[in-house]
Amino acid sequence: MKSTVGVIGLGIMGSAIAQELIRQGHPVVGYDTDRGCMQRLRKMSGRAVASAAEVAARADTVISSLATSGALAATVASIAAAGRPAGRRLPVLIETSTLPLADKTNALSALRRVGMPVLDCPISGTAQRLEQRAWTIYCSGSRAAYKQVAPLLAVFTDSVPYVGIFGNGTKMKFAANHLVAIYNVACAESVALARKMGLDPRDMLALFGPSPVIGTGVMRLRMPFMIDRQYLPATMKVEVWQKDMQAIGDMAKSVHCPTPLFSACAPIYSAAMAQGLALQDTASVSEVLSAMAGIAPRKSTAAKKRARRSA
């Protein structure tokens, strides 16, 4: 019987984590404030419970994947209030969310008081990339705790580096997402340029995507969305990405580091929000660049159906 794993936060990433654990034979116990997410866990054959504290009481290891600092604080409060389960230690918490470092440090301090080890382990990669074992999990904190959970994290990927003291994982993720923010907008700009020059951006992706010089994972993941001008289902929602952008910008300011390219990208994402694209993939910044370039707006799904019927 494989170890029982708890998953707190069952959104896009948390659900992918739970599904892969179940596929690999691990019993999974999970919690989310959203009933739909809990129902999805049950359909996967996971066990949905009533609180984060109950997850910690029933699991051998816990993984959290949370969208907001408020969700992390609520998780910590629930576990800390319950304290140690009778006759056993609290499991290691693998905190994978992308959140401000101060909030993660507060979680570490609060859970340390009740004897729960915490690792800061943000993930680079989307739920879709998990299928290709293309995640990188930046593990930071206690080296002993890292060695304990590394075999479990190998369920998801072979790239599970230990990057040092608690918080270094978040710093590595900020550095990674800083580049992703720029690459994504650069790809959108390139697609707009190709269209304005009369090129088919599909030909561009076919040539550039595999290139060891200019091809990137961001290009290969997001440019197909931009070419098709369809941004659902989202691999990363624009509204969630705004939270990451804010955290990265605040970190850069706190260490007095200028980020002119990153700062230039921020209004493009804000414009996508203003255009009603908050719940769509971040590749939808392509629509912002297309509008700036004078490219005709994409047809709605309803308009495409009408066009097909009249053809």
Q: What is the CATH number of the domain that holds 118?
A: 3.40.50.720
End position of a domain, from candidates 145, 166, 187: 166
What is the structure's pLDDT at 300?
66
End position of a domain, from candidates 166, 198, 215: 166
If asked whether residues 136 and 21 sit together in one domain, one would say yes
Q: Which domain holds residue 219?
A: 170-296
| Edge-first strand listing for the sheet containing 47-48 | 47-48, 28-31, 5-8, 61-64, 92-95, 118-120
What is the structure's pLDDT at 307?
47
H runs (alpha helix) in the chain:
12-23, 35-43, 52-58, 69-82, 101-112, 127-130, 143-153, 168-196, 201-208, 217-228, 238-254, 260-274, 285-292, 301-310
Q: How many domains does the chain have?
A: 2
Q: Tens-digit pLDDT profile for the chain (311 aa)?
A: 799 999 999 999 999 999 999 999 999 999 999 999 999 999 999 999 999 999 999 999 999 999 999 999 999 999 999 988 777 889 999 999 999 999 999 999 999 999 999 999 999 998 888 988 999 999 999 999 999 999 999 999 999 999 999 999 999 999 999 999 999 999 999 999 999 999 999 999 999 999 999 999 999 999 999 999 999 999 999 999 999 999 999 999 999 999 999 999 999 999 999 999 999 999 999 999 999 999 999 986 544 555 455 55
Q: Is residue 282 domain-resident?
A: yes
If asked whether residues 155 and 11 sit together in one domain, one would say yes
Q: Is residue 302 domain-resident?
A: no
One-letter amino acid at 37 equals C
If asked whether residues 279 and 215 sit together in one domain, one would say yes
Question: At how many degrees (to 10) do helices 217-228 and 201-208 cross?
Answer: 170
End position of a domain, from candidates 148, 166, 184: 166
If asked whether residues 133 and 249 sit together in one domain, one would say no
